Structure formats: structure tokens, C-alpha cells
Amino acid sequence: MLLVQSFGDRPSGDIQVKAIEKLNLLNIAEDGRFSGPVITAIVENQDDARIASTFLTDNLGNSTGGDIIIKTKSLNLINGGQISTRTFLAGQAGDIIIDASNELNVLDFSPEFPIFFSNISSATFSSGASGEVSISTDQLLVTNGGVIGSATFGPGSGGSVNILATDIRLAGILPFFLFPSSINAATFGPGDAGELTINANTLSLFDSSRIGTSTVGTGNAGTVNIDTSESIFISGSNPISPNPSLIDSSASITGPTFEDQLGALPVPLGNAGGLNISTKNLSVVDGALISVNNDGLGNAGNINLEADFLKLSSRGEISASTESGNGGNIRLQSELLSLDDSIISASAKGLGLGGNVAINSSLIVGIGESRISANAEQSVGGRIRIDTLSVFGENLTITATSDLGSQFDGQVEIDVEDRPVLVDQVEIQQPRTNTVKLACSPDSSSGQSSFSMQSSGGLAAQPRNFSQTLPIASKKAAEPQLSFSAPFIVDKESGKKVFLVEPSGFHRQSDGTRCLGYIGTENNAKAVTL
């Protein structure tokens, strides 16, 4: 362990490490103390520095605690490695500043003592504020219960967590305790949690991992701000975890264990924070969740989400819910919103008002049992406003209801500029020409029937061919070449033979109507109209 403590009013010293290539913090001692095996860090002046598996600064006074500053290419916290700043009195905890140009890995837990998990954190247990956590790296990986975050257990405010990376990946949980691998800012007491800000190219969460802020006390959860230039992918859950992978801000009921050990309230009184998410492509799949939730007496936060392509599938969900307070609002802005057996919901279970849902998307596609709702149980339902060019939906349900009755229902407004006509398409198993031929097939016994297909002027030769535009006559057409063997009828008025000829176009009659027939001389006029 490398420990720096400050007492009284004098400021603390800092821990600064500059490693050219790699810095590893490994494990803890077998007796459970934070004094595990030492490792060697190669510092800038090429001298060796022996550093324990824990970097820790404590503030036991009224001044500012020491900072921890690390600059390296690769930083690995493995099997319980820890970087932490803390304050126990009125002084502020130190900040944590890490610049790992290639990679930062926060991995796993101690095999001997699973409660000790790899983490980078700042915490306050009194009126002093916790420090800020700032990380800059290319590749960030957090797995198997690893944590990056800040926390407050007293009246002091939690510090902010700021991460700048190219690619961020989280996966897995801490076995036995089921804690998720996470990036978080939390409050367990009266102090407010800090804000969480992430800027990256890509962000991926798997296997019940979490990014979020939370409160289990009287303090309020902080705001989550995520901006990725390419994509966010949230998927699935660990088989032994009750929770899916999620991005959230919550006020949650924790249960007796946390109440006894961490001083959490049976019912949280603080408000959940908000979520602001911006990306090109966002996928929430396999039961994953984006949520603002309050299980206590406070309100839910709001969700503001902007994505060119937003996909929810296989029970993916975006929700804002409360037990007693007002439901949160959801605002979605996208070019394409795709729902497949998924939910967008702003709900209130108690006396609070239902939340509002506002969706502005060029195209909305809803398939399977998908739902958009702003419902309330004991109060007025919320409002749903959808602005789009087109909506395609099979069994897409949109509701803003109240269990108190229809007079307390909310409003649903859908502004669709283009209402598409959906046409069921049936695949034809054989050419239409063959079907016509079969309908006119010769009788096998007599063989007297016949069917022939012959092009007639502008008409298509076969049903599957495109019809050509038939001309409207503007001048006299050429006389047909008739033979005495041609079919004819006898005109009842004149008694003369009138030969039947192939039509050559449309004929406009004196009353203005048009008939298809032969357009020839005046003497042949009767013969050509059909």
C-alpha cells in the first residue's frame, strides 16, 4: 500500500506516478489487508519505484486531501487493485487524474476475499466533498465487478466522474454480491451524488454491467451525460444477476443488508437524476434498459436521447417510472426508430402524474408486441406527442391512460406527414400466363378448343409483360388489309357484311366517350367501335 494522510489544517501531499510503459496494481495480501504484493513501475528517469497494490490518500482534517496523478501508456488494476481518495472530516478528498494513453483495465476481484474488487474511486464520509475522478485513455475495459466512480456517505457532495476515451467496454458482475461492473456516482446519505460525463467513440455494455448515478438516501442522484461519436450498444444480463445491462439514474430500495452496513434508508427520499445521451447508433437489446427510476417518495428524472438510428429489440426498454412522485419525461430525437418486442414508457404508480413522451423521428417502425405508453395508476395519465413522416406498425400500442378512469386519461397526439398504404404481397407460385392457358385448355376428349396469344397493336402480348401506352387517334389511320376469309357480322340496318378487324387505337365518339377499336374510314366506323 502507498498511503498519504493529512491531519488538521495543513494540506496533504500528492501521489504522482509517471510510468513510460506499464503500471500494474495487483491483488491484496492473504490476511485481507491492503498491502498486497509490490510491483515495479518504470518511471520517467528510468529509476525503479516499488509501489504497492493500493494507492490511497486520506483526509482526516479540514484542508484538501492529496491528489493521485498517474501518467502512463498502460494501467492495469487486477484482482482487487485500488486507487482511491477519501475524506472523513470537513476537508475535501483529493482528486484522481489518470492519463493512460493506450489502455486502462479495471479487472476482477480478489480470489481470496471477493469483497475486494478492483476500483478507482473517491468518497466522503462527512461534510467534506469527495474528489473528482478524471480519466483519459484510448481503450477502457471494466469487468467482473470492477468499479470507477465517486460516492458520498454523509452530507458532503459527491465528486464528478469524467471519462474521455476512444472505446469503452463494460461486462460482468462481482460474484456472491452480484455487484455490476460499473461506472457510477452514488449517494448513500444526505449529500447529493456527483455528475457522470462520458465522451467516447464507442460504448458497449454486456452481461449486467451498468453506467449510472443513484441515491438510496435523502440526497439526489446526479445527471448522466454521454456523448459518443459512433455507437452505444447495451445488451443482455448475467444468468445469476437480477438486473440487465443498463444506463440509468435511480433512487432504489436496497434491502436490510445495505441499510445495516451502509446506512441506506428503507425508502429513499431523494430524486433520481437525468440522462442526456447523444450518438449516431444506439442499440438496446436482449432485455437491456435505459432508465430513470424512483422507488421512493421523490420524482424520476428526465431522459433526453438523440440518435440517428435508435433500435430497441427483444425486450429492450427505455423507461421513466416512479412509485410515488411524478413520472419522468422522455424525449427522443432520431432519423429511424425501430421497436421489436420493446417498450418506451413514462409511468407513475402512486399519486404522481404520469410522465410525458415526445418522439421526433423521420420513420418509426414497430413490430411484435411493442408499446409506447405514458400511464398513471392513481393520477392523471401523461402526454404522448409523436412527430414523424411515416409510421409502420404491427400491433404497436400507444397509450396514455389512468386506472382512475377515462376522464383521467392523458393525451396522445400523432402528427404523421405521410400516411403510407400497406399492401399485403402474395407470392405467385407460377407465371400468370400459364394460369390463363390452363383456364382455356383444350378438352382432352374432343380437342376442339384452342387458345393463342398474339400481339395486338399496343396491347401486351402476355399478362406478365408491361402494357404499352395506346395512342389516342388524332388523324385517320391506314386502311386495314381485309380478305374474304376474315370474320364478319351482318349489320341489321343495312344488311351488309361488316368485317371484324384488329383494333388500332382509341376512337372518340360524338358524345365524348372513347372506345377501343379500328380507326378507319367513315364507312367502316360502325365496324371498329367496341
Type of residue numbered 375: N
Q: What is the pLDDT of residue 248?
A: 98
Q: Please determine, for residue 450, whether its predicted confidence score (pLDDT) is greater than 60.
A: no
Indicate the DSSP class of residue 461.
Answer: S
Q: Could you give the C-alpha distances from 161 to 124, 317, 375, 449, in angstroms and in order?
A: 14, 26, 34, 87
pLDDT in tens, 335-360: 999 999 999 999 888 887 888 999 99
Most confident range (mean pLDDT) of 218-227, 262-271, 429-438, 516-525 is 218-227
| Mean predicted confidence (pLDDT) in 392-420 | 84
Written as nine digits, the cell of 460 is 401486351
Average pLDDT, the chain: 79
What whole-number distance in Å separates Cα of residue 483 and Cα of residue 242? Answer: 90
Q: Around Cβ 294, how many Cβ atoms within 10 Å?
A: 31
Q: What is the pLDDT of residue 202?
A: 98
| Mean predicted confidence (pLDDT) in 475-480 | 44
| Mean predicted confidence (pLDDT) in 430-450 | 48
- Phi then psi for residue 260, to 5 deg, are -75, -45
For 208-259, the three-class secondary structure string (H helix, E strand, C coil) is CCEEEEEECCCCCCCCEEEEEEEEEEEECCCCCCCCCCEEEEEECCCCHHHH
pTM: 0.74
What whole-number distance in Å separates Cα of residue 299 and Cα of residue 195? Answer: 18
Q: What is the pLDDT of residue 36?
A: 37
Q: What is the pLDDT of residue 316?
A: 97
pLDDT in tens, 146-182: 999 999 999 999 999 999 999 999 999 998 888 999 9
CB 88 within 8 A of CB 60: yes
- Domain residue limits, the chain: 2-416, 471-530
Q: What is the pLDDT of residue 424?
A: 38
Q: What is the pLDDT of residue 444?
A: 47
Who's near 201: CB < 8 A, 6+ residues apart?
165, 166, 167, 228, 229, 230
Q: Please determine, for residue 23, whether its predicted confidence score (pLDDT) is greater than 60.
A: yes
pLDDT in tens, 80-92: 889 999 999 999 9
Q: What is the pLDDT of residue 47?
A: 36
SS3 content of the chain, % helix, strand, coil (to 5): 5, 45, 50
- Phi then psi for residue 84, to 5 deg, are -150, 145
Give the model's confidence band at 437: pLDDT under 50 very low, under 70 low, under 90 confident, else very high: very low
Written as nine digits, the cell of 83 is 486507487
Alpha carbon 63 to its chain's center: 44
State the DSSP H helix or E strand holding residue 85, giving kind and residue range, or none if neither: strand 82-87
| Mean predicted confidence (pLDDT) in 447-463 | 45
CB 167 within 8 A of CB 100: no
pLDDT in tens, 495-526: 776 665 555 555 566 776 655 565 444 444 44
Q: What is the pLDDT of residue 505?
A: 54
